[in-house]
Structure 1
Amino acid sequence: MVEFTRRTLMATSAAAAIGVGAIGTATAADADTPGAPTIRGGLQRLATTARGAEVTGPFVFENGEVLFSLQHPSRDNPGPYDTAAVGVLAGHQFEFNGKNDEFDALEAPRSADAQGRVQVAGGEYDILVQEGAPIAGGDAKWGHPETPDGTDIAAFDGSRYGDVGYNPDMNFFVPTDDEGLEGYLFTNNETSPGSITRTPISRDEDGWEADLENAMNLENLAAFREIGGTRINCYGDLSPWETPMSAEEDYSHPRVSGPATVSDVVDAESGVGVRGAAAFWNRPDPTEIARSIEELFDESWYPQGTWALAGLEMQAYYLGAEPVDQDGETNTTNPIGDGYPNRYRYGHIVEVTEPTSAEPTPVKHHAMGRAAFECPEFMPDERTVYLASDGANKGLYKFVAEEPIPSYDDRMDVRGTLFAARVTNEDAARNQPPADVDLEIEWLELGTASNAEVESWIADYDDLTQVDYLETHAETDWQADLETALAEADEEVAINGNQDYIADAAILEWATQYAEEGPNGVDEDLRRVPFLETRAAAKAIGASVEFRKAEGIDSLDDAEPGDFLYVGISELNDGMADDAGDVRMERVDGGVVYRAELESGYDVSTLESVVVGPDATDRESVVDAAPINVDNVMVLDDGRVLLCEDKGSFGRSYPNDALWVYEPPTSLHVDSVAISQETTGEADLTLSSIPNGLAGGRVTVSLEHTDVAEIVGASYHDALELTAGPTISDDGSTAEFRFADIDDEIEPGTTDVTLATVELEGVGGGTTDITADVRSLDDDEGAAIEAQPRPGVVVTGPPPVGGGVGGRAPSDPDGDGTFEDINGNGRLDYDDVVLLFEHLDDESVTLNVDAYDFNDNGRIDYDDIDELYDEL
């Protein structure tokens, strides 16, 4: 672990470890956050962008080459770095050996020339395509949506969500050949209307090349316009079945600002001071609402997300609405009628199905909720999706489909359950440094629905326009006196909400019924609430909607339980560092990268900080040496992680954002295992990686409670020929291993190295931790391997019920702690329900409440039978 603190800064050794110049020492003010910055593992700078640009949309090809977007560079940079672009880091290829020794760390850009261009360690930035480049024979521009009649959206006046094509983000490559050297690059552009561009690219001996003649803006296809198009397309993911997943980062979705809740508004009988941007979605010239509020109320405020209402008129024109008067400079307040975009159609995850066909087809996964989604992470089970939302007080979400998503013949039939995260540990609310506090997570179920169901609810709002905003909320006839009618409508909406959409009262009624009946017991007409007003619903039931700028989330493409999910929090402030809620940590404006170990069923329950950014007041040399405001994250095949910055100078000696490569520390895992009483099971002892090989070591495995389980056997990996023991203690609580890899059978760079296996026997019902203690562990270069221990859990179950099938004991097939497989045949089936019914009063059941309490009420009853049947 390389750690920087404000009180003691390790000099040259720390500098070498993260690839920067020498670091001095500094004194600290009392207000500084301890542990900021901290890097648990290794870190090196791979690239820096041109001045003013973020590092976005990282992608790594199968051959190890890296690509990213040059997003919104300064127009003052020398060409071609004054124009947004997508390019490859030519000259650098990852070897996927788990070690950052494959490249020399890039020095910080010091000269004006270096700061005005992209720099790459050991290579160059080879631009493939730039904003506005002619495509399709010159009939279109790269990243530019068009109206149905073919007019470039950039031709219209009015508020814009940035220059068209200036904000390329997501990049994912779908190969069309076996070598992965030819295919289609899918790129998002953050704008309104949104844009997803498909560009054919290929690689020969001279490098990668883009075929702009055959590139296409997918937004201009009829299939995209039919679903309302997309909006503010940010980062995304490539699904396990190789379809691009684009995230709509609709910052304007908050209906109440910051930490406020709908209950706060109803209790105050007014939304003045807390009403969010969503309420003003269909207002004529919506970005001017803050100015109107200032004139209407003594208490002026800026509704959260108002700036992201920019471009809504452009979205309407893209859909075919008749343009209102264009005066050459600004929007007018003349309302747009037919064709105005439906607020609930944006803020979704958009899948591009049939990505290599002549006309790819978009599908919006409405059942995954609405937010300012920066990116999703689709897990290898093809059912579980983690969702990160950008901005202040936005939350973390999870969706679990009932069946693997690609198994549905029609994506609109995809059905599943939406969850919001809640932080449960008290330490998270004790104003402690983020470097010292893990976040314990539980997932609150919001509701279950299919894409088609949610789509039907969304369609109820399709015909709402800016005209409705005036006619619903103003007493004055807007056609006779537009200025007065608009002021009346603004005042009414600010106080009582926008009655054209879901009302405040409906959200509170949903929350009330949720508390009384659970998520599946609410009235049918309220089921839409958590899917259309996701953030407001999550707040209403106590989810920790405090996470600040969750801008990155990723894991290994083939991740398994024991691997890690990484979450980038670009800035740890606002809701995560205030005086209210479940999360109240010390402020770190430089942000934090968390990781969560994947558990059975691809669940996660603990976020641990592995990279903590600096404080804004840290001395220049410290800030130069640590990543700040990490945005997108991407996990490489060898477990290293690309960290992309989006902040700029932040007290640095240079103004450029950087692309870092994070090398996580080696971890020593002990498997979790579930066994029945009087039966045995095995748990492996596994090193996550050995970049420099393995010479040998001494490790002890221990059980905390021998009244639950005992170690009854142990063995070594076959490759370890020189071994001692293993030695098992008389009480079965420990097993000691000593070994050496004298023949170098385990090669450097190998990942997931199983060292040994312990055999465990269930003694009594319950759980016990199983831990590994590293006495010594050396690599082939004679250096110590600083392995982080990752404990496991042994769960022992009840004895056979009614004799079982052949005397087999029950098992827990889904790892949730209850034993659904009562007959011990390894699966849940109808016979399990019958067996529980017939033996409900037997001691084998009544003395094992935790195993069979399926309704979670603390006792065994007939409802447990019903709950077990419902799981079939």
Structure 2
Amino acid sequence: MKKKGIAIALALGILAPTLHPVKAATKEVKIESVTFNGSRVPATVEEMSKPFTTASVVVKYSNGKTKKFPLTYKELFKTTDKFKMSNGEVFQAGTPTDYYGDPITDKSVDGKPVHYVSDAPDANSLLRPMKDGSLYLVSHYEYDSLDNAGNPAWRRVPASMTLTKLYQNMKTGELKVSTVDKIDFSAVNGLWVPCNGSLTPWNTHLGSEEYEPDARSFEFDTPDKLSQSTAHLKDFAKLYFDDEKKANPYNYGFIPEVFVSSDGMTRVVKHYSTGRRSNELMVVMPDERTAYFGDDGEYTTLFMYVADKPRDLSAGTLYAAKFTQTSAENGGAGNLEWIKLGHARDSEIKRMIDKGIKFSDIFEVSDVPKEGFIPVKQYSGQSANYGKIEYLKLKPGMEKAAAFLETRRYAAMLGATSEFNKMEGLAVNAKDKKVYVAISDIGKGMEKNDQDPTDHIQFAKVKAGAVYELSLKPGQKNITGEPISSGYVASTMKALLVGEDLAQPDAYGNKANVNKIAGPDNLSFSEDYRTLFIGEDSSQHINNFVWAYNVDTKKLSRVLSIPAGAEATGLQAVDNRNGFSYLMSNFQHPGDELDNFAPTAVKIEDVKKAVDATYGIDQAGAVGYIHGLPNIKKLQEELKKQPKTQQRKNR
């Protein structure tokens, strides 16, 4: 066996042990490597308008033989597909429901009421099988792009999740929909912009609430000049509760946990002790206590949470990162220190919200420099304060309220870095103790800017973005020297994969190199494949891609192209479900923003027509998966079952 083969096999953890010379003659066949043969880029209008792949997985054995597994994309359902819900009503999968469980009606066109339907399916959690082998899938519906009149509906329409029971073909592994039902969020005041999500080690789903409404704007906006943040929240409350007065920004911006029982019943809890931010998602480490968050938007912060008890996110300690740059080369690198924001229980923070706490109860504010006030610049949910420097002074005794209700503002006041731009998905590599973080656009706060209150990050702009690697270590202390009770504390951050902006668009209108990542968003890691999967949300590629990056061989392979103008979402690497492996992968808002591309190889109008014919422009997204991935453990077991006569043939 060549040294290169040995290295790959070692990385897979499946290399045969050294044998005694007498036994060498009967050496068993082993898997030497598992690699992806990447898909080509779609070249025709037909290929560009639908999910497309020519990718495959190639398994190489120690006897020199190989086996090829072609990959295909399987669509489970569109958001516009109709299902009978548990309340007896039939409506579309992407239709949000109100406080009473009824479908929310779009009345934007006089005399033509219709149900809202999301075109934006996002996170998937294909749960581990129940005791009877049943499979359930939790899926997000992030927002509605347009109402029936063609007006933007983003954020102002309440969001939803579904629970899908799946039928699994035990011969082929193919999945089919058995039932689809809406998950009830009435106990937690509804669901605000659920973006990405994750599956916990204890088999619950962690959702998200992105672009938290700005409490400062909500309190101080005047009726004649409402910010987007306030206007969206008021519309949300009217549609969800049928009562605009129930709008409260402090009800949203948290992590909801969805519990699913073996009979398909669901229960939802929002975790207020994890802090309030623009949650892309929360990812839990193997210790079942430590977690990291994506904080999407401009001028955002990296946060860490350490729960008091494993598998219990109802109480814990929250930290924010201070980034100290060590390099600006190849996407940049730096060291991380952690600032303790505070400790809380869900019940404590919920009690504050229920009592009607306001922004002005927590902070004094000034729009100009003032003695005793700290300047901060942070993302504020598209509010009137967006992009501005704020001058804040904490009111006496309000440390806990600030830490868990105004988490990013308070972190910035204490010296944390609030300069990250478009911090998206995260994934954990348990064996190597690494966390991967997607930055879809290296720009704005991450560039040098002497006008900002702090300038911790000074990277060169890369519109195509990068994926960063965080190294986790035990025995770490926070910035004041107190021990952090976790063995999974990130100490360094460096770019792992960096996109490449093009000086001029290519023939298909792509503004970034199609053989590299652009706008990395969703991340998911497969321990069996030793592979980081990356889904794109890019204005740089006319067709966004899903990639496979082997962390040992450093090979990057394109495994899927989604419809032009769509965002790749719902990414989840599933190593084993009843003996089969999957890569869950959705797409949302196909056809969106195609006018920003000017291809010469095809006509953009032809691409738009083809997308519209199948999905409708900004009308329907799809929930699905990549089929055909071989289950590594099953392949290993099959080799062990080979008769000895077959093994001797391999001498």
TM-score by length of 1: 0.48
**Conserved? CA contact 2:104–2:116, under 8 Å:** no
Partner of 2:645: none
Partner of 1:504: 365
Decide which of 228, 233, 238 is 1:312's aligned counterpart. Answer: 233
Partner of 2:482: none
* Matched position secondary structure for 1:529: helix
Shift of 1:283: 5.4
Q: Which residue identity is paired with 2:78? A: Q
Shift of 1:163: 6.4
Shift of 1:566: 0.6
Partner of 1:140: 91
1:541-560 equivalent positions in 2, closer than 5 A:
541-556=414-429, 559-560=430-431
Partner of 1:627: 517
1:832-851 equivalent positions in 2, closer than 5 A:
none
Q: Which residue identity is paired with 2:74? A: D
Q: Does 1:566 align with 2:436?
A: yes
Shift of 1:568: 0.7
Shift of 1:597: 2.1
Q: Does 1:131 align with 2:79?
A: yes
Decide which of 468, 471, 476 is 1:597's aligned counterpart. Answer: 471
CA distance in 1 between partners of 2:128 and 2:199 (Å): 12
Decide which of 400, 407, 418 is 1:534's aligned counterpart. Answer: 407
Partner deviation per Cα, 1:153-190 (whole Å, 9 max, x = no partner): 242449xxx9632111000011334696x311000111
Decide which of 331, 335, 348 is 1:440's aligned counterpart. Answer: 335
**Conserved? CA contact 1:634–1:643, under 8 Å:** yes
Residues 1:647 and 1:555: Cα distance change in structure 2 (over 3 Å): same
Partner of 1:333: none
Q: Does 1:232 align with 2:231?
A: no
Q: Which residue identity is paired with 2:309? A: E
Residues 1:147 and 1:500: Cα distance change in structure 2 (over 3 Å): farther
Partner of 1:588: 462
**Conserved? CA contact 1:250–1:346, under 8 Å:** no
Partner of 1:449: 344
Residues 1:142 and 1:166: Cα distance change in structure 2 (over 3 Å): same
Shift of 1:390: 0.7
Partner of 1:687: none
**Conserved? CA contact 1:251–1:391, under 8 Å:** no
CA distance in 2 between partners of 1:185 and 1:285 (Å): 42
Shift of 1:141: 2.6
Partner deviation per Cα, 1:716-775 (whole Å, 9 max, x = no partner): xxxxxxxxxxxxxxxxxxxxxxxxxxxxxxx9x99xxxxxxxxxxxxxxxxxxxxxxxxx
Shift of 1:598: 2.0
Decide which of 201, 211, 215 is 1:250's aligned counterpart. Answer: 211
Partner deviation per Cα, 1:644-663 (whole Å, 9 max, x = no partner): 11114x2x5xx200001011
Partner of 1:665: 552
**Conserved? CA contact 2:279–2:294, under 8 Å:** yes
Partner deviation per Cα, 1:508-532 (whole Å, 9 max, x = no partner): 98979xxxxxxxx995443211110
Residues 1:586 and 1:525: Cα distance change in structure 2 (over 3 Å): closer
Residues 1:149 and 1:533: Cα distance change in structure 2 (over 3 Å): closer
Partner of 2:255: 349
**Conserved? CA contact 2:217–2:230, under 8 Å:** no
TM-score by length of 2: 0.63
* Matched position secondary structure for 2:192: coil
Residues 1:501 and 1:563: Cα distance change in structure 2 (over 3 Å): closer
Q: Which residue identity is paired with 2:457? A: V
**Conserved? CA contact 1:549–1:569, under 8 Å:** yes
Q: Which has the higher strand share?
A: 2
Residues 1:522 and 1:155: Cα distance change in structure 2 (over 3 Å): closer
Residues 1:525 and 1:609: Cα distance change in structure 2 (over 3 Å): closer
Shift of 1:459: 1.4
Structure 2: state its 5+ residue gaps.
1-7, 9-29, 56-69, 110-114, 144-156, 376-393, 475-486, 555-632, 637-651
Q: Does 1:377 align with 2:277?
A: no
Shift of 1:541: 1.4
1:397-796 equivalent positions in 2, closer than 5 A:
397-406=303-312, 414-425=314-325, 427-428=326-327, 432-435=328-331, 437-461=332-356, 499=360, 503-504=364-365, 524-556=397-429, 559-560=430-431, 562-580=432-450, 581-600=455-474, 601-617=487-503, 620=506, 623-637=513-527, 638-648=529-539, 650=540, 655-665=542-552
Residues 1:376 and 1:169: Cα distance change in structure 2 (over 3 Å): same
Partner of 1:328: none
Structure 1: state its 5+ residue gaps.
1-40, 42-95, 256-277, 291-305, 323-335, 465-497, 513-520, 668-746, 751-872
Partner of 1:115: 48
Q: Which residue identity is paired with 1:417? A: T
* Matched position secondary structure for 1:504: strand
Q: Which has the higher contact order (CA 8 A, sep 6+)?
A: 2
CA distance in 2 between partners of 1:163 and 1:592 (Å): 35
Partner deviation per Cα, 1:377-429 (whole Å, 9 max, x = no partner): 101111101011111111110011122133xxxx6xx321111111124x35x
Partner of 1:188: 140
CA distance in 2 between partners of 1:355 and 1:405 (Å): 16
Residues 1:421 and 1:108: Cα distance change in structure 2 (over 3 Å): same
CA distance in 2 between partners of 1:554 and 1:508 (Å): 42
1:187-226 equivalent positions in 2, closer than 5 A:
187-191=139-143, 192-204=157-169, 205=171, 208-211=174-177, 214-218=179-183, 221=184, 224-226=185-187
Partner deviation per Cα, 1:283-310 (whole Å, 9 max, x = no partner): 5889x636xxxxxxxxxxxxxxx3x656
Q: Which residue identity is paired with 1:608? A: K
Shift of 1:100: 6.0
**Conserved? CA contact 2:131–2:262, under 8 Å:** no
Q: Does 1:280 align with 2:153?
A: no
The Cα RMSD (Å) is: 3.5
Residues 1:150 and 1:397: Cα distance change in structure 2 (over 3 Å): closer
CA distance in 2 between partners of 1:148 and 1:405 (Å): 29
Partner of 1:808: none
CA distance in 1 between partners of 2:402 and 2:411 (Å): 10
Q: Which residue identity is paired with 2:537? A: D
Shift of 1:194: 1.9
Shift of 1:356: 4.0
Residues 1:614 and 1:542: Cα distance change in structure 2 (over 3 Å): same
Q: Which residue identity is paired with 1:606? A: T
Partner of 2:380: none
Residues 1:589 and 1:524: Cα distance change in structure 2 (over 3 Å): same
**Conserved? CA contact 1:423–1:442, under 8 Å:** yes
* Matched position secondary structure for 2:136: strand
**Conserved? CA contact 1:143–1:217, under 8 Å:** no
Partner deviation per Cα, 1:427-467 (whole Å, 9 max, x = no partner): 35xxx3344x32111011111111111111111228x9xxx
Deviates more, 1:189-198 or 1:309-318: 309-318
Shift of 1:358: 4.8
CA distance in 2 between partners of 1:98 and 1:217 (Å): 45
Partner of 2:58: none
Residues 1:108 and 1:117: Cα distance change in structure 2 (over 3 Å): same
* Matched position secondary structure for 2:490: coil
CA distance in 2 between partners of 1:635 and 1:350 (Å): 22
* Matched position secondary structure for 1:625: coil
Shift of 1:375: 1.2
CA distance in 1 between partners of 2:513 and 2:132 (Å): 41
Identity, in percent, stands at 26
